[in-house]
Structure 1
Amino acid sequence: MSADQPREGRIPDGSSFLPGGFRFSDVPTEEIDRLEAELVPLADSVRALVDATIRSTVDLDEIRRARAEVDAVTARLRAAQMEGPAGVHFNAEGKAWHWGNAAVGARNAVAPPMPVRRDPDGVTRADVELGAAYEGPPGKVHGGVTALLLDHLMGVTASDGSRPTMTGTLTIRYERATPLGTVHLEGRIRGEEGVKVFVEALVLDDEARVCVRAEGVFVVPRWARQFAGLPEESGD
């Protein structure tokens, strides 16, 4: 058994580092799926706790009791933890996991979360539920939150399932306030030039009205260009 494989239900922490901070972990996909089945519900519960913390109107004595209970649970989880960030892992079967990602991290209660799919028409799409924790103006989504979600969706779009890309530039135009609730994102590649990928994306409300438009240039990083069949010295 590899040192990366979990024993007695322990969480793998990947020890083979690659350029860009990616980690190869010799952990079977079946084991990662088993762990996520336990870890995702915990993040869901914490996400619900955040929402309840914002909107609760219980009396202050109950607030104090709840705080003590939350502190006790936090101490239990701190008893054994990884050092530093969660990082991005992948295994020999092509399974990738980024449990700490701010937009889609399966273990990150800050993430909405946002599962991204690539449809047959070549458009990447995501449906996201944004509640009280993502509010900016009253009843509306904070503009920084839509920027975060667009940046991630557009990065997935540019990567096209075959290459890593990093955000070069991101231009956002807010056309109307995005209401809290279910929002829809769409992204498409509009062109490529060497190591650069040009992407457009939208945020739509639940009535299919465009709330936010974005354009971005995403770049294949130097360390990954050989894998994408690009000259390492091309572009910036």
Structure 2
Amino acid sequence: MDFTFEAISAEEYDRQRASYEPLTDALRRLIDVGIHTEVDDATVQQALTHLAAAEELLGRQQRSGRSTLRHADTGRPVAWANPAVGLRNAIAPPMRIEHEPDGTCWSEFTLGPAYEGPPGWVHGGIAALVLDHLLGEVASDGLTQPRFTGTISLRYLRGTPLGPLRAEAFVERSEGAKTFARGYLMDADGVTVEADGVFITPAWARDAG
């Protein structure tokens, strides 16, 4: 399996982030208003005309090849299309992962209507997506090591309300090719979902080491 990524300089990373992050945020807002809009048919058709024009503009130049790059300074992958944290993927929760010197990681973010399951509550699958990614981040040293989800178990302690949330994760221990990680999703009142995961270093990476 090939895990060599094209490098992107810090300057180019910052340029792309400054350019495309507002676009992704605008697309997220568009999804939110599209879910709740009650405009008339004529207004829907007018919006469709504008959306078609935007699609044509953005489609004039498309990237070919890899969607995952490597940050030249940090060595970490830059996965613009990742459905959990992709900066240029509007379906991804708006998470920015923070890494602490002790190896733990966390993110604070807000989930709106696009992530709703029961009315007013986050869909359980979205909670699983968030925690699977965060545990994977911490187990793989910020995605710099090839360690993939072997198993993940979640305990839904109560409903997770839409709105401001925090997720955090840490490594409990490592045993050979296995790394054991734990994480939490929480609101202002405390933990809503707990997760335990086992992440595996694949045989090809062990052989290479």
Which residue of 189, 198, 206 corresponds with 2:171? 189
Q: Which has the higher strand share?
A: 2
On the 8 A contact 1:20/1:223 being kept in 2, the answer is: no
On the 8 A contact 1:170/1:217 being kept in 2, the answer is: yes
State the TM-score, normalized to the length of structure 2. 0.90
Aligned to 1:203: 185
Aligned to 1:90: 70
Q: What amino acid does structure 2 have at the position aligned with 1:57? A: E
| Deviation (angstroms), 1:72 | 1.7
Which residue of 140, 148, 154 corresponds with 1:166? 148
Q: State the identity as a percent.
A: 42
Q: Deviations over 1:149-190 (max 9, x none)?
A: 001000011012452311110111111110000111121111
State the TM-score, normalized to the length of structure 1. 0.81
Greater relative CO, 1 or 2 (CA 8 Å, sep 6+): 2
Aligned to 1:152: 133
| Deviation (angstroms), 1:105 | 0.6
Q: Deviations over 1:122-144 (max 9, x none)?
A: 43211121000000001000000
Q: How far, CA to CA, are the matches of 1:118 and 1:93 in structure 2? A: 15
Higher mean alpha-carbon deviation, 182-191 vs 135-144, is at 182-191
Q: Which runs of 5+ in 2 are unaligned?
A: none
On the 8 A contact 1:85/1:100 being kept in 2, the answer is: no
- Please give the residue correspondences for 1:1-236 in structure 2 after superposition, counting only pairs within 5 Å: 19-25=1-7, 27-83=8-64, 86=67, 88-95=68-75, 96-120=77-101, 122-161=103-142, 162-207=144-189, 209-225=190-206, 229=209
Q: What amino acid does structure 2 have at the position aligned with 1:42? A: L
Q: What amino acid does structure 1 have at the position aligned with 2:188? A: D
Structure of greater Rg: 1
Higher mean alpha-carbon deviation, 145-154 vs 215-224, is at 215-224
Q: How far, CA to CA, are the matches of 2:106 and 2:72 in structure 1? A: 27
| Deviation (angstroms), 1:44 | 0.9
Q: What amino acid does structure 1 have at the position aligned with 2:49? A: A
Q: Deviations over 1:32-68 (max 9, x none)?
A: 2112210111111111111111122222211110012
Higher mean alpha-carbon deviation, 126-135 vs 160-169, is at 160-169
Q: Which runs of 5+ in 1 are unaligned?
A: 1-18, 230-236
Q: What amino acid does structure 1 have at the position aligned with 2:106? A: R
Q: Report the CA distance shift for 1:54/1:36 in structure 2 as closer, same or farther (over 3 A).
A: same
